[in-house]
Amino acid sequence: MNIQLTDILTAYEAEHYLENLQIFEITDLGCKKWFAQDEILQKLNFQAHINAITRSDEFIMEAFCTFEKSNHQFMIQQ
């Protein structure tokens, strides 16, 4: 079986999303902005997996480093 994986995000989109990530207070979890960011984090996660599986450019990881965003900062979201 040959499965084709296509990108969910472009590098430009990923950088834009990562640049605008924010940390929420515990009291804000579940609000509309939190759910919007959770959806973005899921897209970033899926794209990072696609990049790893296809051994292509790891632009998600590079963007996390460029914008000094720690994956651990957003763990509470999951």
Within a domain: residue 49? yes
Within a domain: residue 50? yes
Within a domain: residue 1? no
pLDDT at site 77: 46
- The series of mean pLDDT values per 10 residues for the chain, 78 residues long, is 78 91 88 94 91 85 72 50
Q: pTM of the predicted model, to two decimals?
A: 0.76
DSSP per residue, 20-33 = T--PPPGGGTTSHH
Contact yes or no for 37/77 (Cβ under 8 A): yes
Within a domain: residue 4? no
pLDDT in tens, 60-74: 887 777 766 655 455
- Domain with 18, as residue range(s), is 11-77
Within a domain: residue 39? yes
Within a domain: residue 3? no
Number of domains in the chain: 1
Within a domain: residue 21? yes
Q: Which two tokens stand for residue 42?
A: 């899921």
